[in-house]
Amino acid sequence: MKLSYGTGGDRSRQFHFLGNKTSFGAHAWGEMAKPQSVALQYQHRELEGAVHAFNKTDAVLKGKVYLSTRRCVQRQFWLAPDSVVNQIILYCLAEAAAVTPGISILWIFVLSSHLRQGILDEEGNYPLFSQRFHMMVAKLVNHHRGRFGSLFDDRQTSMVELAAPEDIFDKMIYSLTNAVAAGLVERADEWPGVSSLSAQLNDEELVIPRPVVNGFFPDDTTMPAVARIRFRRPPGFEHLSHRAWTDMIRAEIRRRERAAMEDLRARGRRVLGLDRIAAQLPDERPASHDPRCGINPRVAARDRWVRAEMLQRNQDWQDRYAEARRQWRAGNRDVVFPEGTWKYCVEHHARRRPQD
């Protein structure tokens, strides 16, 4: 299957999805191939941005756990919580995960200006999942807000590989307490936006009806009437009982809540609170400065030696990738790219080594 799209002028691009409609779910990729309503006429720039986000030269390998972060354009509050936006995000998350082989969602937390989730990618398909998830969220939220153009920042989606169970747990709690650390609410469970915390503590499967967004979906839509998702326990914690696992989550969240409130008091600040959060407009943005040109982390590991090993592994892969790309651009179509190569293998059907 091939989708063609352009950004104007001669900058046309093509993106080839792996597999076919049967293996990925006929409703998913078939739905994307044709506009269904006026609302879909402006999808091209969002699709371009979503695919461009994975043109970076990072290996896409099987069996990895990632912390994924995507920010709204100009850090505006387009994802500000309300019942419709919350439903859109959860529906799109569940639907995209269901049709992408090997993807399990470990957690999700969405602030007004960005969304963040933990992903276990067992088949090396996270670009397909993220492209679909971000694109559908952008189209539906744009239609709900009555706006056009890009919803998400054009910077690359941040994908941080998490090394060990303790690193996964740390980033999960960091995500779930994001609103507390930002001084928005006192307790993590008070946040009115999308958070997987309650579903994780209750081991609950969420059943999300297809959003009714001002006639966005036609009567004959192939998108499912409901989408289902159960947040998977992160690798390394399968041996724990449900009670032990939830006690561990609650204890660490309470510790971080206390630390965040102590920090606020030390700085003479107060929690923003639910009323002021609800009063924020979607086109507003934080007053804080957004640093540019800083470090863009690719790995997270508490153990400095593990982190150094991961960084060296990534650099070795980058060197092999760069050499294969040099040969490809010189006209050698028989060059074999390293395992985990995504762009050249998906867009240009280049050869690559299988992953061990």
Q: Can you give the pLDDT at residue 30?
A: 39
Helices (H) and strands (E) in the chain, counts: 12, 11
Q: How far apart are CA 77 and CA 98, in angstroms?
A: 28
- Residue 54: CATH number of its domain: 3.30.70.1290
174-194: average pLDDT? 97
Q: Can you give the pLDDT at residue 321?
A: 95
Same domain, 232 and 106: yes
Same domain, 213 and 331: no
Q: Can you give the pLDDT at residue 45?
A: 39
CA–CA–CA angle 141, 145, 149 (5° rounding):
70
| pLDDT tens digits, 75-115 | 999 999 999 999 999 999 999 999 999 999 999 999 999 99
Number of structural domains in the chain: 2
Q: Can you give the pLDDT at residue 56?
A: 53
Q: Can you give the pLDDT at residue 15?
A: 34
List the structure tokens of 109. Answer: 């937390």
Query: Which positions ≥6 away from 26 have C-beta within 8 Å?
Result: 222
155-184: average pLDDT? 95
Same domain, 210 and 120: yes
**108 touches 194 (CB < 8 A):** yes
Q: What are phi and psi of 300, to 5 degrees?
A: -140, 120
Same domain, 263 and 324: no
Same domain, 287 and 326: no
Is the model's pLDDT at 72 over the cut of 80?
yes
Helix (H) or strand (E) holding 89, with range, is helix 83-99
**61 touches 340 (CB < 8 A):** yes
Q: What is the DSSP letter of 189?
A: G
Q: Can you give the pLDDT at residue 19?
A: 33
DSSP strand pairing (103-110 vs 114-121):
antiparallel
6-16: average pLDDT? 33
Same domain, 321 and 231: no
Q: Can you give the pLDDT at residue 52?
A: 40
Please, which residues bridge with residue 226 across strands?
A: 209
Q: What is the DSSP letter of 33?
A: T
* Domain assignment of residue 199, yes or no: yes
Q: How far apart are CA 170 and CA 160, in angstroms?
A: 13
7-24: average pLDDT? 34
* Domain assignment of residue 272, yes or no: yes
Q: Which domain holds residue 331?
A: 317-356
Query: Which positions ≥6 away from 200 have C-beta within 8 Å?
Result: 107, 231, 246, 249
Q: How far apart are CA 137 and CA 49, in angstroms?
A: 13
Cα–Cα distance list, 277 to 16, 72, 274, 290 (Å):
41, 17, 5, 20
By three-state DSSP, how is residue 325 classified? helix
Same domain, 250 and 296: yes
Same domain, 264 and 323: no
